[in-house]
Homo-oligomer: A and B are copies of this chain.
Amino acid sequence: MSKQELAVLGQDGAACCPALLTAPMGQDQAEELAKVFKALGDPVRLRLLSMIASQEDGEICVCDLTPAFDLSQPTISHHLKLLKQAGLIDSERRGTWVYYRPLPAMTDKLAAVLTRPQAADLHSPSEPAGAAS
């Protein structure tokens, strides 16, 4: 697997992501990351993201999201807007409806940030570049 592929998968922590578990995080990185975690810090948004991310055809109509909740359309739209602002989903209007699709790069980044280096080492037996010099 190429280094590029690893980076795309968000597992190349050192290259792609601020360190959370291995070094004190700076204020700027913490503010950026906190916005995304805050977007996930609501059960309705987590359920919306899980519905969007688990679609086999890669997208879902807002008309199929709303009926799953006992909430108004504007409320659902507001939660979707926050997920979109956090970079977790994208949307496209086609005709009457808006369709939502996941942006896995952001969840990959969060997964990498939360993965302990020991766990990553177990998955990647090769030494990091420069470690043997």
Which residues on A are within 8 Å of B, measured CB to CB?
1, 9-11, 19-27, 30-31, 33-35, 37-47, 49-51, 53-54, 68, 102, 104, 107-108, 110-111, 114-116, 118-119, 122-124
Task: Flag if A46 contacts B21 (CB, 8 Å).
Answer: no
Supposing A107-B114, A114-B114 touch, asked if A43 and B68 sit within 8 A by C-beta, the answer is no
Supposing A21-B107, A37-B37, A123-B123 touch, asked if A27 and B43 sit within 8 A by C-beta, the answer is yes
Q: Contacting A50 at CB < 8 Å: which of B20, B54, B68?
A: B20
Task: Flag if B111 contacts A107 (CB, 8 Å).
Answer: no
Residue in chain B with minimal CB distance to A44: B30
Task: Flag if A25 contacts B37 (CB, 8 Å).
Answer: no
